[in-house]
Amino acid sequence: MLNETHDPALRSWVASANQAGADFPIQNLPFGVFRRQASHEQWRIGVAIGSNILDLSQAAEHFSDLDQAALAACRASNLNQLMSLTPAVWHSIRLQLSRMLRQGSGLQATLEPLLLAQAEAELALPAAIGDYTDFYASIFHATNIGSMFRPDNPLLPNYKYVPIGYHGRASSIRVSGTQVKRPHGQTKAPDAEAPTFGPCRLLDYELELGFWVGQGNQLGQPINIEQAEDHVFGVCLLNDWSARDIQAWEYQPLGPFLAKNFISSISPWVVTLEALAPYRCPAFERPADDPAPLAYLDSSANRSAGGLDVVLEVSLQTASMREAGQAAEVLSLGNFRDMYWTFGQMLTHHASNGCNLQPGDLLGSGTISGPNKESRGCLMELTWRGQEPIQLSNGEERRFLQAGDELIIRGWCGNADGLKIGFGECRGVVLD
C-alpha cells in the first residue's frame, strides 16, 4: 500500500538525501547496526539518510504512540526485537522517521546532533541470524546450470512445482567488506582415480537478494500465502560465494555443503518492504504450457504484485585494476522480476510443513539470472563453466575469481520520476 512516505516530492533537511541518484533518500530509510569507527561503543540501530546515519536509539525519544516494547526494540543492539514486532509497528516507526526528517519538520536542530557520517561508521550484521535457507528461484539460472551437466534434461521435473532450497550455514554470514579467504576442500579431476584435498580453483560468486524474516510462526503452524509478506521485515543484497570444483564432487546425493558454507556476504542495510511498495510488479509470467502453482502457493495478490522490480549490478575490480587506479568493470546487469518464484512463495513453502521461522532468519533467493547472457548472475554461467572467459578492458581475462579480485554487488529501484531506492553495496576481496 502506498502512503505519504512514498511521495516522490518529499525532501529532507539532510541535504545529501536530496542529491540525484542517492541510494538513501527520505523515501527509503533502511535500518542497520553501527558504531563509530575505531571505537568500543555499543552497537546500536541506525537509519540511513543520504550519506549519514540517524541514531534510532536517541531519535526514538521523540516518537509518539509507541509502546514500551517498540521503544525497547529501537534501543536494542540489533534488529531482532524490531523484526519480531508487527507490520503496524514497523509502519508507525517509518512514518514518524519520515515526518521528523522532512524539510520543515522543525526537528532539524534537535536531530542533527544524532547524525553520523557513514564514512565515519563501522557497520555490523543487522541481526543475529538464527537460520539461513538458500533457494534456487531463477528458472534461467537453473536451466543454464542444468544444461552444463544434463544437456538432454536440464530442468528436473520438480522445479516448476517446488521452490527448491537448502539449509545453509548462518554462522559464516558476514557483512559487506569482509575479506573472502579461498576455501580448501576435496576435488576430483575427471581423469583421476581418487580425489585430492587442496585450495579451490573455481571460486565463484552468486548474485542474490536476502529476505529477512520478521514475525515468526509456531512450530506446526504453516504460513498462508496471503499473510506471507507480513512475515518479511526487509531485503538486503547477498553474495553466496561458491567453490564450484568442491561443489561438483560433493553435491551428490545430499546437495551443497562445504562448497557453500565458508562465507556468504550481505549488505549492511535492510530496505523495508514498505519502502519497496512503489516497485512491486506482477509475478513472473509462466509460459502457457507450464503448470500453475499449487493452490497453497497461489493468490491473486501474489500473481498481480508478488514480484520486485530491483535492478542488480555486478562489478569486478582486479588487483591490477586497483593498482592502476581503474574503476571496477561491470560484469552483468539483471533484475529480480525475472525470478520464477516470488519471495512470498519461498517463505510460504518453507513454512508449509510447519517449520518454525524466527525473527532474524535469512532467506536467500538463489542466483538471480535473466534471459540474456548479460543478465547471468555468476561466473559459472557467464563463462559457461570457464569455457568462454571474460575479457576485461585492461587485457586480463577471468574464468573464475583470482586472488586480489574484489566483487561488488549493487542494487536499486527506480522509476520515471527519477527517484532511486538503493540497497548500498555488498563487497568482498578474495584472498589466497
- Quick check: 159 and 217 in contact, CB under 8 A? no
Calculate ∠ Cα 290-256-183, nearest 5°. 140
Q: Which helix H or strand E contains 90, and what residues bound it?
A: helix 87-101
d(CA 31, CA 424) in angstroms, rounded, equals 12
Catalytic residue among 6, 40, 62, 141, which?
Answer: 141
d(CA 240, CA 263) in angstroms, rounded, equals 7
Cβ neighbours, 10 Å, residue 8:
12
Residues with Cβ within 8 Å of residue 5, at least 6 apart in sequence: 27, 29, 94, 95, 98, 274, 275
Q: What share of the chain is helix, strand, coil (3-state, %, to 5)?
A: 25, 25, 45
Beta bridge partners of 183: none
Cell of 112: 542533527
Beta bridge partners of 173: 264
Is residue 40 annotated as part of the catalytic site, yes or no? no
Beta bridge partners of 281: 307
Enter the DSSP assignment of 372: S
Strand locations in 323-392 (E): 329-335, 362-364, 390-391
- Quick check: 180 and 404 in contact, CB under 8 A? no
d(CA 234, CA 256) in angstroms, rounded, equals 26
Beta-strand relationship, 232-239 and 207-213 = antiparallel
Rg (CA), the chain: 22
d(CA 216, CA 123) in angstroms, rounded, equals 26
Task: Tell the burial category of 278 from Cβ atoms under 10 Å away from its Cβ (0-12, 13-18, 19+).
Answer: middle
d(CA 172, CA 102) in angstroms, rounded, equals 39
Cell of 89: 509497528
Calculate ∠ Cα 252-377-183, nearest 5°. 50
Cβ neighbours, 10 Å, residue 250:
20
- Quick check: 213 and 229 in contact, CB under 8 A? no
Q: Which residues are catalytic?
A: 141
